Structure 1
Amino acid sequence: MKAGANAAALKRRTTPTLPEVTISEDSEVRFLHLGTEWIQGSMLLDAPFDIELDYVQRMMAWLLFVEPDSVSKRRVLQLGLGSAALTKFCFKKLRMDTTAIEINPQVVTVCRSWFKLPADSARLRVVLADAGEEIRRADHLGAYDALQVDLYDHEAAAPVLDSPDFYADCRNALTDDGCLTVNLFGRDTSYERSLQSLCAAFGEDAVWAFKPTREGNTVVLAQRTPHRPTRMQLLARAEVVQERWGLPAVKWMKLFEPVA
């Protein structure tokens, strides 16, 4: 066998097969699936730039830790595009400089065709890459004020990237007052392991968590630089977030607290 054929065969053995992307709808919502019935994202048909799912809304909890008037001047990175709900919200509603990293080119195509994801521009970029490799690139170091991680395969059993080293790479990509939010939904017992990995990378005093949603999604937030606003300060900020951007942030106050 020729050298070129050897290389091609090796690539076939080592490149993971990406799942087929499909969509479904009810009367009000369009859903994205990765080869199974599991919902990997959604969009309200009459409000395509709003966030429909509770857990996805909670991924925006980093807004509680920044000055609202500064948001449009900040940068956000999304690992895992899903149905582009977070990417669209940050770009359209928050007016932020927005980057998303997605490994599956079908997901990008479907989001552009069926989920109203705008084309790349000076303020919006979708990078086709492996998130675990891409996040280590030098141009991401200290670059983002918010980093939102929602990385699941088509089985939705546990996060694809979930090690202390991966979360340390995420921490390195944040500005000094930046925050990570991550969806830790899983059908196995991965939550405690994931939480330990986050605490190892960020420190226990930097980590906050929501109570699980009815569907089992647990959103966790980690701060690059730990600080603890009072509940009254957080509530005041939540009221602003809710009024300005329509997120149910006041309700979050009953569901969100430090882990230590």
Structure 2
Amino acid sequence: MTVAHHDPTLPEVTLSELDGVRYLHLDSIWVQGAMRIAKPRVLELEYIQRMMAWMLWRPSAELAQGHAVQLGLGAAAITRFCHQVLRMRTTAVELNPAVIAACRMRFRLGADDERLTVLNQDAGAWVREPANAQTVDVLNVDLYDHEAAAPVLDDERFYADCHQVLNHGGLMTVNLFGRHASFLASAERIAAAFGRDQVWSLRPTREGNTVVVAARGVVVPGREELIARADNIEKRYGSLGVPARKWLRMVRPLPDPAN
């Protein structure tokens, strides 16, 4: 199925379905998002599940507080989860109006309300906007071209702007390709903007997606506290595709390129 739009400069949005899962594509065979039709709040894709690993860095009492922002809507899985499950104030920023239309019509993304705002804007411009500085507690960055080959925003300036929009104690997750030659360069740009001691990565998924977590002024708790947080997260949200104990086993500090 094709979702029509009127901007020829942007990739065409198409949908497919297989074994009860609906997929979103951007003018290619590559999957840009997915939703299990019978369970729309479950996080279907493994890398999307890992994009929620920021939850480990937040105290349990503050887990679902604050403002969550997604750059790049995809099939709206993270936006749905933050808005409908965590019930956070949630903003999504998406350049392609056809992606927004597809998510509204076919991926259970509701209309804007007092906690949800979906913006048809350029993500790079949004993080540069002075009015957005220090307004975000959780920032999820998943910005890929239509062939899913490389991030479309991946320079040090962009990551510095991402750092700037975060409140103190805020967290960012970024989807990168861990087996791609550009991963280390991208990770170093993030470290330059956030500080190496505020950047961690998870192991690559089978498909090669590596999620990087970066923080603004977060004090990492001890192992026992992290285990307690993971247990709490999995007890509350594990059935929705949030395997926090597994994340804890695969989190690593960013490797030092000098070693």
Shift in Å, 1:223: 0.6
Kept in 2: contact 1:55–1:217 (CA 8 A): yes
Partner of 1:257: 252
**In structure 2, distance between residues paired with 1:72 and 1:198:** 25
Residue type matched to 1:82 in 2?
A: G
Partner residue of 1:117 out of 109, 123, 129 = 109
Q: Which runs of 5+ in 2 are unaligned?
A: 1-6
Partner of 1:164: 156
Q: State how many pairs are aligned.
A: 246
Shift in Å, 1:54: 1.0
Listed one character per residue, the Cα deviations across residues 158-211 of structure 1 (whole Å, up to 9, x for unaligned) are: 110011110000000111010010000277411011001001000110001001
**In structure 1, distance between residues paired with 2:237 and 2:20:** 21
Mapping of residues 57-68 of structure 1, within 5 Å: 57-68=49-60
Partner residue of 1:79 out of 63, 71, 80 = 71
Q: Is 1:137 matched with 2:107?
A: no
Partner of 1:184: 176
**In structure 2, distance between residues paired with 1:156 and 1:98:** 25
RMSD: 1.4
Mapping of residues 163-242 of structure 1, within 5 Å: 163-185=155-177, 188-242=180-234
**In structure 2, distance between residues paired with 1:240 and 1:224:** 23
**In structure 2, distance between residues paired with 1:187 and 1:25:** 28
Partner of 2:3: none
SS in 1 for 2:56: helix
Task: Tell me the percent identity.
Answer: 51
Q: TM-score, normalised by structure 2?
A: 0.92
Partner of 2:118: 126
- Using CA pairs below 8 Å that are at least 6 residues apart, which structure has the higher relative contact order? 2
Shift in Å, 1:253: 1.6
Residue type matched to 2:15 in 1?
A: I
Q: TM-score, normalised by structure 1?
A: 0.91
Residue type matched to 2:92 in 1?
A: A
Mapping of residues 100-115 of structure 1, within 5 Å: 100-115=92-107
Q: Which runs of 5+ in 1 are unaligned?
A: 1-14
Kept in 1: contact 2:178–2:204 (CA 8 A): no
Larger radius of gyration: 1
Residue type matched to 1:68 in 2?
A: S
Residue type matched to 2:63 in 1?
A: V
